[in-house]
Amino acid sequence: MTHQVHIIGGGMAGSEAAWQLARRGIRVRLSEMRGARLPGGGDSTAAHNSDGLAELVCSNSFRSDDDEKNAVGLLHYEMRQCDSLLMTAAAKARVPAGSALAVDRDVFSAEVEAMLAAQPTLEVVRERVDVLPTEGLAIVATGPLTAPALASSIGAATGAESLAFFDAIAPIVYRDTIDMDVAWMASRWDKGAEASIAMGGDGRDYINCPMTKDQYFAFREELLAGEKTEFKEWEASTPYFDGCMPIEVMAARGVETLRFGPMKPVGLDNPHWATAEHPNGRWPYAVVQLRQDNKLGTLWNMVGFQTKLKHAEQVRVFRTIPGLEQAEFARLGGLHRNTFLNSPTLLDRQLRLKSAPHIRFAGQITGCEGYVESGAVGLLAGLMTAAEIAGREWTAPPHTSALGALLSHITGDAEAETYQPMNVNFGLFPPPDPATKKKQRKEAYTARAKADLAGWLPALG
């Protein structure tokens, strides 16, 4: 099949871009290096575990699904309005997680592959692409783990070095190895209970492992003392992205930092302590939470526990957590280096490389952060390319929408000198009416976005 668009990378962004194009009858070649038959075996990355398209390598959560008060929830809503592949697959793979949208990662990837395979104008090819295409329309969506040869080709085309940051992966625990005589099920302040129940949960979607004050301080010392993965010389100056800060790095920032972050105990009343004499009373000093990671409920993700501890140290240190003394790990944490472009400098408002406008970039390589944001930029790149092929003038989504705010940040609103990966947030949106009361600002953002998006959707054709 002679293709009209070549998409390089079958992750979140590449898969979404391919879907948007193929659904419009455009012939697409989607190149994914994982699973390629190369000399010496197949190709992969330091973070991936499978050859599946749109594999989730870190958390299994797409974060909040609340489209009334949360920017990422609003982005979910807007992507659904644009017939998003990823949002459709997520609905089929959803697992209980309160008000968050979490999925069974294997079911999710399988759904993405099946939906793409059903498109007659789409060809998925397992191959590694080492150089940027010199002609024809292309979308580069190779993500933060772009292969070295292609990264060098991108560097040569941009005339500038890519920026980089570290991303860390949280461990996953087998559910039947958690001691529920110590741990218990609950969500903070019952937050998300209604959404959980609506999705078949019971409103108590997190496993909670309690700590006394002494246990907390001892655990923090173990995190600080544990043997860490060593940096290579070229990695030494690479900064972390705050959204994926390793747990031990957070611990080093202050004695109480973890208690105001991933180990926050607020609203968690320990039923085991409430029915017996306990020196700490009913309320833990700190709590480790685990979130369901697959539909069967057999795998649970340690929330916020991204880490660069060596594997043996992870097992030793994390088994000091009450309730996890006998824990078995389906996956241990890890650390990998992410690369991204200085997009405000290198890309135009349609995500095209200024020095080679037949090439668009999409996903995390543009400097967005998060599964949903990556997919959203892939969606936009697909829509832009479809408009170009149809000879139709591209109309950008309104800046007041989540899609528009994210796109504007990537392609020009951000300061190029200090450009860093960014999740979607209301700080990227134009402020609402100054007369809006503070408690109503989030609702004002989302109501305005939905109204403005409705006026934009017909422009997609």
Residue 276 has pLDDT above 90, yes or no: no
Inter-helix orientation angle 371-390/12-22, to 10°: 30
Q: Residue 223 — very low, low, confident or very high, per pLDDT cuts 50/70/90? A: very high
Residue 427 among known ligand-binding residues: no
The model's pLDDT over 167-194, given as tens digits with 9 standing for 90+, comes to: 778 899 999 999 999 999 998 765 655 5
SS (H, E, C) the chain: CCCCEEEECCCHHHHHHHHHHHCCCCCEEEEECECCCCCCCCECCCCCCCCCCCCCCCCCEEEECCCCCCHHHHHHHHHHHCCCHHHHHHHHHEECCCCEEEECHHHHHHHHHHHHHCCCCEEEEECCCCCCCCCCEEEECCHHHCCHHHHHHHHHHHCCCCEEEEEEECCEEEHHHCCCCCCEEECHHHCCHHHHHHCCCCCCCEEEEEECHHHHHHHHHHHHHCCECCCCHHHCCCCECHHHCCHHHHHHCCCCCHHHCCCCCCCCCCHHHHCCCCCCCCCCCEEEEEEECCCCCCEEEECCCCCCECHHHHHHHHCCCCCCCCCCEEECCEEEEEEECCHHHHECCCCEECCEEEEEECHHHHCECCHHHHHHHHHHHHHHHHHHHHCCCCCCCCCCCHHHHHHHHHHHHCCHHHCCCECCCHHHCCCCCCCCCHHHHHHHHHHHHHHHHHHHHHHHC
pTM: 0.81
Q: Two tokens at 96?
A: 């209980």
Environment class of residue 276 by beta-carbon count within 10 Å: exposed (0-12), middle (13-18) or buried (19+)? exposed
The model's pLDDT over 80-93, given as tens digits with 9 standing for 90+, comes to: 999 999 999 999 99
Of 3.50.50.60, 3.40.50.300, 3.30.420.40, 1.20.1730.10, the CATH number of 5-162+341-460 is 3.50.50.60
pLDDT at 70: 94
Among candidate residues 54, 50, 62, 47, the one with its CA nearest the CA of residue 117: 54
Residue 158 has pLDDT above 80, yes or no: yes
Residue 14 among known ligand-binding residues: yes
* CB of 175 closer than 8 Å to CB of 298: yes
Strand order of the β-sheet with 5-8 is 122-126, 28-32, 5-8, 137-140, 356-361, 352-353
Q: Which is more confidently placed, 137 or 167?
A: 137
Q: Two tokens at 55?
A: 């594999």
pLDDT at 335: 76
* CB of 5 closer than 8 Å to CB of 99: no
| Tokens 């009361």 belong to residue | 437
The model's pLDDT over 401-435, given as tens digits with 9 standing for 90+, comes to: 999 999 999 998 788 877 878 889 998 999 989 89
pLDDT at 5: 98
* CB of 402 closer than 8 Å to CB of 347: no
Please state which of the ranges 73-77, 149-153, 174-178 shows the lowest mean pLDDT. Answer: 149-153
Residue 118 has pLDDT above 90, yes or no: yes
Q: Two tokens at 321?
A: 């957590």
Q: Which is more confidently placed, 235 or 211?
A: 211
pLDDT at 299: 87
Q: How far apart are CA 36 and CA 104, in angstroms?
A: 25
User: What mean pLDDT value characterizes the chain?
Assistant: 89
The model's pLDDT over 51-64, given as tens digits with 9 standing for 90+, comes to: 889 999 878 999 99
Q: How far apart are CA 228 and CA 19, in angstroms?
A: 40
Residue 207: CA count within 13 A, CB half-sphere? 27
Residue 323 among known ligand-binding residues: no
Residue 250 among known ligand-binding residues: no
Environment class of residue 280 by beta-carbon count within 10 Å: exposed (0-12), middle (13-18) or buried (19+)? middle
Q: How far apart are CA 403 and CA 396, in angstroms?
A: 9
CA 199 from chain centre, in angstroms, equals 21
Residue 12 among known ligand-binding residues: yes
* CB of 259 closer than 8 Å to CB of 317: no
Q: How far apart are CA 337 and CA 46, in angstroms?
A: 9
Angle subtended at Cα 69 by Cα 399 and Cα 396, rounded to the nearest 5 degrees? 15
Residue 11 among known ligand-binding residues: yes
Amino acid at 8: I
pLDDT at 171: 93
Domain boundaries, the chain: 5-162+341-460, 169-335
The model's pLDDT over 305-330, given as tens digits with 9 standing for 90+, comes to: 999 899 999 999 999 999 999 999 98
